[in-house]
């Protein structure tokens, strides 16, 4: 198995394993049945023969310590995982979702503010497939404000509980020594930063975009708005949303357009590259389908 794990032309599944408890003192479970969770194990599965290896990712977790004493031959230290596999370990999505949800309340560090719930946050909504849903955490490659190079992160945006503007985002880091670390970036409260719901309103209120979507829908196909991604770039934000077309006879959606919003402009093009060129190189001859200024009154 070790020889196969060192090769590049082999396939493995890496699964996050968790230890939980409902008896951790003074810990708020929120909407969950447990009030303690750790991503204590990384499980590597050989996709060809089904061999399974368990690696302890959190050696300080007392629950996994107990399990490893009960089954001493089952668990291995994470250091024994081949480097070719360790480089693919990601921040665990399920744990990040729970941490993101808990932060809606527990980012408040002032006791009086916390007691009065004066600064509650919420997970913003997006339009996906014609329906409203909460924005799910998503993976990105980007350079964090405190970093010197790009890295692989898991990101989730926040808005105030009673408003639609963006107030903060949380990043879970995955690369090297930064694996497992969280970074919370908060925008100044006096600064208006568009949130996902406001960007969705801009997209759907744009006459050219809405006309194109309506035209596709009338032709027997269905236009599907994909996940809206909020991507931090330096001190600004780039919003990207794919647009898919689903034919009545074929349920497999096809990517037909990419919509990009940056600062005061909105662009729709056939590819992401064309959309980015339209945003950042608007003076060139080869322009995307539309390049339009954002109209401030359109924002709710």
**CA proximity to 139, closest of 82, 97, 200:** 97
**CA proximity to 52, closest of 97, 26, 13, 109:** 13
Residue 59 lies in a domain: yes
Q: What's the total number of domains in the chain?
A: 3
| Mean model confidence pLDDT for the chain | 88
Q: b/e string for 265-294 if b means 16 or more Cβ within 10 A?
A: ebbbbeeeebbbbbbeeeeeeeebbbbbeb
**Cβ atoms within 10 Å of 225's Cβ, excluding its own:** 21
Q: What would the pLDDT profile of 82-133 be if each residue is shown by its tens digit? A: 999 999 999 999 999 999 999 999 999 999 999 999 999 999 999 888 788 9
Residue after which a domain boundary falls, among 186, 206, 227: 186
Residue written as token pair 């089904």 = 50
**CA proximity to 14, closest of 174, 155, 150:** 174
Backbone angles phi, psi at 62, to 5 degrees: -65, -30
Check whether residue 287 and residue 218 sit in a common domain: yes
62 contact partners, CB below 8 Å, separation of at least 6: none
Residue 116 lies in a domain: yes
Torsion angle defined by CA atoms of residues 272, 278, 284 and 285, in that order, rounded to the nearest 10 degrees: 80
Check whether residue 205 and residue 165 sit in a common domain: no
Residue 224 lies in a domain: yes
**CA proximity to 4, closest of 56, 12, 54:** 12
Contact 243, 225 (CB under 8 A): yes
Q: What would the pLDDT profile of 17-47 be if each residue is shown by its tens digit? A: 999 999 999 999 988 999 999 999 999 999 9
**pLDDT tier at 1 (50, 70, 90 boundaries)?**
very low
Q: What would the pLDDT profile of 135-184 be if each residue is shown by its tens digit? A: 999 999 999 887 889 999 999 999 999 999 999 999 999 998 999 999 99
Check whether residue 165 and residue 206 sit in a common domain: no
Q: Is the Cα torsion angle 109, 110, 113, 116 positive or negative in sign?
A: positive
Contact 222, 246 (CB under 8 A): yes
Residue after which a domain boundary falls, among 38, 60, 86: 86
CA–CA dist 173, 129 (Å, integer) = 29
Residue 191 lies in a domain: no
Whether this model's pTM surpasses 0.75: yes
CA–CA dist 282, 90 (Å, integer) = 36
What is the span of the domain harbouring residue 57?
Answer: 2-86
Check whether residue 66 and residue 129 sit in a common domain: no
Q: Is the pLDDT of residue 288 over 60?
A: no
The torsion region of residue 216 among left (phi > 0), alpha (psi -120 to 50) and beta comes to alpha
Check whether residue 81 and residue 101 sit in a common domain: no
3-state helix, strand, coil in the chain (%, to 5): 25, 35, 40
Check whether residue 247 and residue 263 sit in a common domain: yes
Distances (CA, A) of 30 to 24, 99, 118, 135: 13, 11, 19, 19
Check whether residue 99 and residue 46 sit in a common domain: no
Longest Cα–Cα distance in the chain:
68
């Amino acid at each position: 198995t070790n020889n196969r794990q060192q090769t590049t032309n082999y396939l493995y599944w890496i699964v996050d394993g968790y230890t939980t408890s409902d008896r951790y003192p003074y810990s708020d479970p929120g909407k969950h049945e447990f009030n303690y969770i750790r991503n204590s194990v990384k499980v590597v599965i050989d996709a060809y023969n089904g061999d399974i290896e368990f690696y302890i990712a959190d050696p300080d977790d007392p629950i996994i310590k107990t399990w490893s004493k009960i089954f001493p031959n089952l668990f291995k230290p994470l250091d024994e995982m081949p480097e070719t596999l360790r480089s693919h370990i990601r921040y665990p999505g399920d744990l990040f979702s729970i941490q993101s949800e808990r932060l809606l309340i527990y980012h408040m560090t002032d006791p009086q503010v916390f007691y009065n719930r004066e600064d509650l946050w919420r997970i913003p909504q997006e339009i996906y497939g014609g329906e409203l849903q909460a924005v799910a955490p998503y993976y990105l490659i980007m350079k964090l404000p405190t970093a010197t190079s790009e890295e692989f992160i898991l990101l989730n945006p926040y808005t105030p509980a009673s408003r639609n503007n963006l107030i903060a985002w949380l990043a879970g880091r995955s690369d090297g020594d930064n694996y497992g670390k969280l970074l919370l970036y908060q925008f100044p409260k006096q600064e208006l930063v568009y949130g996902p719901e406001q960007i969705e309103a801009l997209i759907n209120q744009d006459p050219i975009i809405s006309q194109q979507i309506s035209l596709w829908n009338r032709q027997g196909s269905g236009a599907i708005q994909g996940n809206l991604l909020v991507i931090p770039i330096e001190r600004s934000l780039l919003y990207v949303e794919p647009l898919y077309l689903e034919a009545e006879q074929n349920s497999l959606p096809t990517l037909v357009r990419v919509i990009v919003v940056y600062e005061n402009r909105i662009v729709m093009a056939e590819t992401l590259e064309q959309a980015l060129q339209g945003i950042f190189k608007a003076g060139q001859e080869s322009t995307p389908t539309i390049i339009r200024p954002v109209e401030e009154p359109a924002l709710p």
